[in-house]
Structure formats: C-alpha cells, structure tokens
Structure 1
C-alpha cells in the first residue's frame, strides 16, 4: 500500500525530491518506483525530525519499528499511519504525544482512483489536516470520520473493497465460462463490465440503486439474475454484510494483538 500511495503521489506531480523512503529491504512493489524516480532511499532512520512521517508497515511490525523512529519525529511532525488496526494509542506509546492521522487508503491510489478514510487526533492542527488532505487527496477523495473506531469500518468497506470487486470479476468470468464462453473472452467481458459500471457510478449523479433499476427491465434477463443475487437468504446483500463485518472485526482484533 505504501508503494501504491508513493506511486500515486509521483504520478500526480509531487516532486520526487520531497520524498525519502525508509525500507531496509526493497520489495517488488517499491523497486520499480525507485528505479523510475529520483526518490531518496534509506535503510536507516533519519537523525532529525521530518515534516510528515507516513507509517506504511504491517501492523505486527509497528511495535518494533516505532522506537527507531523517535529521532525523526519532532513537535511539528505530522504522523500519518496507514497500518490497519494500529491505534493512535499504540503510536503514542512508541513516539510520544504527537499529531497523528490514522488513514486507510486503497490500492487504486496507484492510478489516482483511490479513496481514503481518515481520523485525526486532538494534536492535529487545521494546517496539518489540510496538509493531509493535500497529500492523500493526490490519489483520490479523502473522507474524514469523527471517531477512531470507524477507521475499522472504513478498512472493511474501501480498504479491503478492491479485493471484493476483483473477486466479482473472477466469479463473473467463471460463470461466463460455465455457460459456454471461452475463458479469455469471458474474462475480457467481466473486466470491462466491472470497470465500465464503476466509471458510470462515478460519473452519474444517480445512486447505484437507481442505476441498477435503469438497466433492469421487468421480467427481463437482468431481473432474473437479480432475483438470485438479491435473495433474502444467501443473496449478495447478506453475504456482503457478513464479509464487511468479518473484515471490521479482524481490524479491531489487530489493534489488540
């Protein structure tokens, strides 16, 4: 996710020289970005405070990482964490009482089509909140929540959401194969259908419910399919509720690990 955000910032025109990446082991997601852009890379933390520190590490690693970053965090540093389940209190224990924003972006940030949920603690100034909007907004809309636990809900809906959409495309293509389409054709149809429908939702002022109704003729083929997908028992709404709740609960569990 950190690599996706960095790629989005650079693609949006943020100066490469303004970024320093701290990562002792450059992975396959980050390496192409470092090869293509003059971003500073370090394998040890800086010895003086930075303006903005973005914590893009796995939640299980946060306890080991934070103490090494104390020198990089000063009174004026804004800390932005995108680690699922890592609470502001955990960050405070590692870095002290600092201005912290918990944010949950998603991977479409890499192409400038992400969306980020964010929560700011009481130390974040209006100027730092605006800086967060400017930084995270380079890759898509930023939506603020008023209570920290709601970040777990954001994680379950939009943070994990791209995987749900990819699974929809997989399942749609597989269903196309089952009714006789060649695999490659079925996948092309599924990809473009999902992408096109998503773009329609962004461009239209109509709610998704209305867009669905617009393409559903009474007693037609779409209505027949939706009768299955919208069944009260075992239908997509029920499955999605269960899936989002499972993701939200897991995010809450991570904060206690």
Structure 2
C-alpha cells in the first residue's frame, strides 16, 4: 500500500475514500501523527493521487457528500444531517501543514513576508539588500548572500503565487519522502548556480523562486523515471505543462529568467541521478 496524502480531519478523509470507492479505487485510512493518511494499492497510486489533489482543490463539492450518503458514512437525521469537515479555513491550514515539512513552510512564510513588505513600501530597501551583484567586479564574499537572495524576491502577485504553490506542492512532497536535507541541498544549489548562469548570460535584473521550482520538477521527474511507483513521480501532464512553460519563456512569450529556470531543471535532474545511484 502507498500513501497518497494526509488530511487533518478524519471525516474529510472518509468522504474522499467513499468517493474513490465509487471510482473503482480501493483506499484505506491509517492514523498518523499529523492526521489521517489515505493509502491505496501501488497500481492505483497515480489515480488515487489525482483524486486526492482534486479533493484538496474543492473539498466541499457535492460529489463527496453524495458518495458518503451512498456508503452510509453520513449521520442520519437526528444525528446531524450535514457531513461537516470543519471550518474551511481550518481545513486549508491543516492541508497546508500536513502536506509539507518545516523547511517547506519556513521558506513559504519567508517569501510571503518579503512579498508583503515589498508591497507596503519597502520595495526599494528590499531590492537594495537582496538583488544580485551589479557586475563581476563588484562581487564580494562579504556580500555573498546576493548569490542566493534574488530567489526570494518576486515582482508580481502571479509570480509569487505560481512559485509558492509549486514550492509547497513539490517541496513538501520531497521533504516528506526524502527529508529536509535533500530539499535543503536542492534549495541552496538551485537557488545559487542558476542565478550565476542568468547573470552571466543576461544580466543582474532578475528574481524569483522559479529556478528552485524547476529543480524540484527535475528531481521528481527523473526520480519517477527510475521508479514509476515512487510518491515523487509526477503525472506526465504536469511535467509537460512545466516544460512548455519553460519553452514559452525562451520563445519570448513571457519575460522570465529563462536561464535560471533551465539551470534549476538541470540541477534537479542531476541531483536525482546522484540519489538514484545511492539508493540502488
């Protein structure tokens, strides 16, 4: 059996299991330290994971209520007719926490905090402290943090939301499966070397966590190629979308740090290759 996810509320987990049963997916609940885990048989992992992610996107959809009524999981009249998952905000927070780890959450909060201060009048100060070195001649070990800190700066709402959602989704998955150490290596290497590549080929005016996100994509993609049953394996549609996004940047459809993205992807792929050898 393979875990497809963890929910903080066991009633919500039961609703999802009831629905998956109507789709021919056999799932079971297992109590874990941070909530209730949903597990499925290995051949059904990817279908189960897709249903789990769809549930996270719309946990109050009528399909889950209907499935629970059909299975008899919903209390009858007099016992409380509404199947209550708990407050929507609480359910969101529980999912946010259970599907990540300390490092994932720490960076999520850090980038969100920087974005908040950026938009309440501190943009110039933040950029002055965190932007990349203006030139090769001005590089100095005394300000070595500038190699990494551009990865924490975001310039628009779409920019920060896109990056942090993928960081939470992929980074949380890697941290849960491989530990904070693996995720930290990916963060530091992919948050530094691709920045150097972007600077060398284009210039110093860039920022964002996208290079790190593409490292996570590369890591999960190659891990899945070696072990299709791995919880880190990504559905082909996800990989295809992100590679198309990368290609669109190089074709000029969007103004992005293309070489940081490509560099991050290569870093993640390389780390996955190294890890696959050590795990054989």
Q: Normalised by the size of structure 1, how large is the TM-score? A: 0.30
Greater per-residue strand proportion: 1
Greater per-residue helix proportion: 2
